[in-house]
Chain A
Amino acid sequence: MGIGGGSDMYRQQILDHYKNPRNYGELEDPDISHTGENPSCGDTITLDIALADDGETIERAVFSGDGCAISQASASMLSQELHGTTLSELEAMGREDITEMLGVDISPMRIKCAVLARQVAQDGAKLKDGDITDLDVTQVE
């Protein structure tokens, strides 16, 4: 089928992460904890991050949330991907990195579902550093 069609978008990997999310839950004392939502879909993601002693390397990323397969699978995969990366590497992550991570073409209308977890992680890191201060919940439109 064509670009962005269901069978492309819902390859086994996506469905597997949706049905069996990795790193699902909450951290007791996270260095970073931030929530985001996709108001038009009702997708929500909360991401908790624990940093190594260097204050820069991500030791563990854990998420919880609710929503469509694309948003939840993306969060699950990102939680794995973030393990061992640095906050500056996280900041540099673009949309292409997410679609590459997902390994599928995401249709234009669904890209906001795919990038929600990344946005939550990046905003969470910025809030920790004080780069932004007045953000309660990240909203992806």
Chain B
Amino acid sequence: MATLREDFPVLDRQVGGDVTTPGPDDADDTPLVYLDNAATSHTPEPVVEAIADFYRTYNANVHRGIHHLSQEASVAYEEAHDRVAEFIGAAGREEVIFTKNTTESENLVAYAWGLSELGPGDNVVMSQMEHHASLVTWQQICKKTGAEARYVRLTDGGHLDMDHAAELIDDDTQMVSTLHVSNTLGTVNPVEELTQMAHEHDAFSFVDGAQAVPHMPVDVKEIDCDFYAFSGHKMCGPTGIGVLYGKQAVLEEMQPYLYGGEMIRSVTFEESDWEELPWKFEAGTPVIAQGVGLHAAVDYIDEIGIERIHDHGSSLAAYAYDRLTEHDDVTVYGPPGDDRASLVAFNVDGVHAHDLSSIVNDYGVAIRAGDHCTQPLHDELGAAASARASFYLYNTRDEVDALVDAVDEARQLFA
């Protein structure tokens, strides 16, 4: 994987200088060690080139022009849907809606489906490890509709308590919405089983795959979920694009979330009717350049091989787990090293996560510190915040060592 780093020029950057003006400056003097990939991944040259090529040579709005450039842009934009569908095992472009991000994908379903279908007596089942994207969205839709929000407990080992899930999912459950991979614990959840449990009670299943699709093979038909969401920028693509997969039959029944141009077939002063899928859910000028970029990102990942990316990330996470837990004062949250996705969230006794992050930053090491959009989970863990290192295809063992050394500096400073 080492040669892949050449595709990511930002990885050669030095840091440490002035942060108030973007980009390198003369005061940057420390090589960057980028371990914040669960927040966002870097963008390889072929993806940057694809986006630049769009703007340089065939930039146009889609679906409304019959001029040459508009046709080229429309073809590219539609093919991006086909490519994503193929990548996640969807039936076709009808099942792939481009949104702004995973959060918007959650909101789309919550508003377009939840607001009209949920009511008092119904419940939505989530888990205690939910990201705010899902938790806050369904929590608020439940408040609006009178439905009940339920949360599946965790085991001590950081997995979902499936017995508790079986208790919570009942005939009043309308939606089971869970993470595929926890962005804090690194747990890989049994989403097939959860989907099956949902379906046994005639409930829908929504899977948040923001931390899964970039890192492991995902086949939505195998999972059999009704909805699946993820973001482009965590998988070598640009920011500004998310994906909502939905089963065609389910999407057909849903009303639009946003109204406006692009999503209509015909409009009178009195009535409108909707475009076919997926355009019905993509109102206004859509994310054209981002779609082109996401297409290139999927190509990039496919060329390397998602299995290979998965094995690389898991092995780095296991190595980081082992190295960090060499010290008794380190708590790593979630399952053991050989049973986790490519991230480790941890705390060092006596060093607040924000202090830790500031100090390792001085050694060029970029990690995340905070609640990682899982405040209720952190409450359960009894920690206000944690530090998180997350890995991707271009990271190395040397970079894990750099993290461990920098953590050691922090430990000594606070001793």
Q: Quick check: is B296 within 8 A (CB to CB) of the other chain?
A: no
Interface residue B360 (Cβ < 8 Å from any Cβ of A): yes
In the docked arrangement, what's the CA distance between A95 and B112, Å? 46
Residues from chain B with Cβ under 8 Å of A42 in the complex: 371, 384-385
Q: Which residues 97-118 of A sit at the B interface, judged by CB distance below 8 A?
A: 107-108, 110, 113
Contact flags B11-33 to A (C-beta < 8 A → 1, else 0): 00001111110000001111000
A6 and B19 within 8 A (CB): no
State whether the Cβ of B414 lies closer than 8 Å to any Cβ in chain A: yes
323-364 of chain B: CB within 8 A of chain A:
352-355, 358-363
Inter-chain CA distance A18–B262, complex, in Å, is 58
Q: How far is the CB of B377 from chain A (nearest CB, A)?
A: 13
Given contacts A2-B18, A3-B18, A42-B384, contact A10 B29 (CB under 8 A): no
Contact in complex: B16, A6 (CB < 8 Å): no
Q: Distance (Å) between the CB of B378 and the closest chain A CB?
A: 8
Segment touching B, from A48-56, A65-73, A131-139: A65-73
A residues in contact with B30, CB < 8 Å: 1-2
CB of A41 closer than 8 Å to a CB of B? yes
User: In the assembled complex, how far is the CB of residue B249 from the closest CB belonging to chain A, in whole angstroms?
Assistant: 42
CA gap between A85 and B360 in the complex, in Å: 37
| Complex: A13 Cα to B363 Cα, angstroms | 21
**Chain A interface, number of residues (Cβ within 8 angstroms):** 26
Tell me if A5 is interfacial: C-beta within 8 Å of chain B: yes
Q: Give B218-253 as 1s and 0s: 1 = Cβ < 8 Å from A's Cβ atoms.
A: 000000000000000000000000000000000000
Query: Which B residues touch A108, using CB under 8 A?
Result: 19-20
Q: Is the CB of A1 within 8 A of B414?
A: no
A43: chain B residues at CB < 8 Å are 384
Assembled-state Cα–Cα distance A3/B362 (Å): 9
Q: Is B370 an interface residue (CB 8 A)?
A: yes
Interface assignment of A9: CB less than 8 Å from any CB of chain B: yes
B267 beta carbon closer than 8 Å to chain A: no
Confirm or deny: B413 has a beta carbon within 8 angstroms of a beta carbon on chain A: yes
For B358, list chain A residues within 8 Å (CB). Answer: 5-6, 9-10, 70, 107, 110
A-B contact pairs, 18 of them (CB 8 A): A1-B16, A2-B27, A2-B29, A4-B19, A5-B16, A6-B359, A6-B363, A6-B409, A10-B359, A10-B413, A15-B413, A15-B414, A40-B370, A41-B352, A42-B384, A67-B352, A69-B352, A110-B354
Which B residues are within 8 Å of any A CB, using their own CB? 15-20, 27-30, 352-355, 358-363, 370-371, 384-385, 409-410, 413-414
